[in-house]
Chain A
Amino acid sequence: DQQVKQNSPSLSVQEGRISILNCDYTNSMFDYFLWYKKYPAEGPTFLISISSIKDKNEDGRFTVFLNKSAKHLSLHIVPSQPGDSAVYFCAASGVGGGSQGNLIFGKGTKLSVKP
Chain B
Amino acid sequence: ETGVTQSPTHLIKTRGQQVTLRCSSQSGHNTVSWYQQALGQGPQFIFQYYREEENGRGNFPPRFSGLQFPNYSSELNVNALELDDSALYLCASSWDRGLGYTFGSGTRLTVV
Which residues of A pack against B, CB within 8 Å?
Answer: 4, 6, 32, 34, 36, 41-46, 49, 89, 91, 93, 98-108
Contact (Cβ within 8 A) A42 B105? yes
Known: A41-B105, A43-B4, A100-B97. 19 other contacts (CB 8 A): A6-B42, A43-B105, A46-B102, A49-B99, A89-B42, A93-B99, A100-B55, A101-B31, A101-B33, A101-B56, A102-B33, A102-B45, A102-B48, A102-B56, A102-B58, A104-B45, A105-B35, A106-B42, A107-B42
CA–CA, A8 to B75, complex, Å?
34
Which residues of B pack against A, CB within 8 Å?
Answer: 4, 31, 33, 35, 40-45, 48, 50, 55-58, 90, 92, 94, 97-106
Q: List residues of chain B with CB within 8 A of the CB of A101.
A: 31, 33, 48, 50, 55-56, 94, 97-99
Contact (Cβ within 8 A) B44 A100? no
CA–CA, A91 to B101, complex, Å?
12
Q: List residues of chain B with CB within 8 A of the CB of A36.
A: 103
- Among A34, A41, A44, the residue within 8 A (CB) of B90 is A44
Contact (Cβ within 8 A) A43 B42? no
Q: Report the number of A-B residue pairs with Cβ-Cβ less than 8 Å.
A: 69
CA–CA, A106 to B41, complex, Å?
8
- Among B42, B48, B98, B99, the residue within 8 A (CB) of A99 is B48
Q: List residues of chain A with CB within 8 A of the CB of B98.
A: 101
Contact (Cβ within 8 A) A34 B99? yes
Assess A43 versus B56: contact at CB under 8 Å? Given A103-B101, A105-B43, A107-B42: no
